[in-house]
Amino acid sequence: MRQGGHTPIGFVPTMGYLHEGHASLLRRAGEMSSTVVMSIFVNPLQFGPNEDFASYPRDEARDLELAEREGADIVFIPSVEEMYPQPIRTKVSVSSLTTQLCGASRPGHFDGVTTVVSKLFNMVQPDYAFFGLKDAQQVAVLRRMVSDLNMNVEIIACPIVRENDGLALSSRNVYLSAQERSQALVLSRSLQSVRQAMEEGKVRTVDEARELLVSVISSSPLAVIDYAEILTFPELETLDGSSLLTDADGEIIMALAVKFGRTRLIDNNVFIPKEAHALV
């Protein structure tokens, strides 16, 4: 971190349509920083050709109200033309970590994320940048990018924020019909079911845990599974299916991506099996 008389800058990059999850990031930034900067930018580079860039929810006036209420000192809202004034020929790419989970389902997505975040870091020059663990893969990728490129910023991962019924907050939740939203509760329920089964000794191996995860999700008629995986964290490496979960060295992640209608939702749980202690 910077020395001398420098006062720390906290940065919260967002794509807007803010909710309580973003508010929690701003509050955490305010606790650690003298100046809090939030950006709102729907980044076209991280959307695939058949994804929802054009229809992604936007409400700038509402976003600015929340930002002011939660203590943001500066809100940076660049246009696409400002971020990419000419066709971009330089991209930032993190290998290995981006081939699993959402990286496998959304080719090029994380190149778009790392490229825009590195540009934003250069513009804002923050000491700390705050990201939610709902997208734990993104946190892992950005931490590796910062480490590999010796960027002078620390990535601060913040806990998942959920509705009272367990649904992880997401800007895309607005797309869900009442029936889809009700059935989407199966995501948090599946993660809880596996954790409980592990603690009770009913699930011991990686394969058993994955099978239970898929079984619970599949009990929801509208759920279409993109992936339901159990990997090391933050390395995101595959675990031997027959290995005992308690043999895992350090943290693991149970990660989900499931579609309900046209809406793709993600959720996860990162924990240390040997301690059976939830971290998110």
22 is catalytic: yes
Structure tokens at 27: 């509050």
Left, alpha or beta for 276 (phi > 0: left; psi -120 to 50: alpha)? left
pLDDT at 43: 97
pLDDT digits over 3-48, tens only? 556 799 999 999 999 999 999 999 999 999 999 999 999 999 999 9
| Bridge partners, 154 (sequence order) | 128
Indicate the helix (H) or strand (E) that contains 229: strand 223-232
pLDDT at 4: 54
The span from the CA of 8 to the CA of 185, in Å, is 39
Sequence-distant (≥ 6) Cβ neighbours of residue 128 within 8 angstroms = 8, 9, 10, 11, 29, 32, 33, 153, 154, 155, 156
The SS3 call for residue 164 is coil
Q: How many CB atoms lie within 10 A of CB 72?
A: 24
Mean pLDDT of each 10-residue bin along the chain, 280 residues long:
73 98 98 98 94 95 98 97 95 96 96 98 98 98 98 98 97 97 98 95 96 98 98 96 92 98 97 64
Both tokens of residue 164? 């009272």
Q: Tokens in use for 160?
A: 């998942």
Q: Which of 19, 22, 109, 277 is catalytic?
A: 22
Alpha helix locations (H) across 154-200? 178-184, 186-199
Token pair in block for residue 9: 């800058």
What pLDDT shows up at residue 3?
Answer: 52
Task: Of 84, 67, 150, give the one whose Cα is nearest residue 119.
Answer: 84
In 3-state terms, the chain is what percent helix, strand and coil (to 5)? Answer: 40, 20, 40
Is the bond into 234 cis (omega within 30 degrees of 0)? yes
Predicted local confidence at residue 280, as pLDDT: 36
For residue 226, give every residue at least 6 positions away whose Cβ sits within 8 Å of its Cβ, in sequence order, or none: 105, 257, 258, 259, 264
- Edge-first strand order for the sheet with 9-14 is 74-76, 35-40, 9-14, 128-132, 154-158
Q: Tell me the C-alpha distance between 235 and 253, whole Å.
A: 10
Contact 33, 9 (CB under 8 A): yes
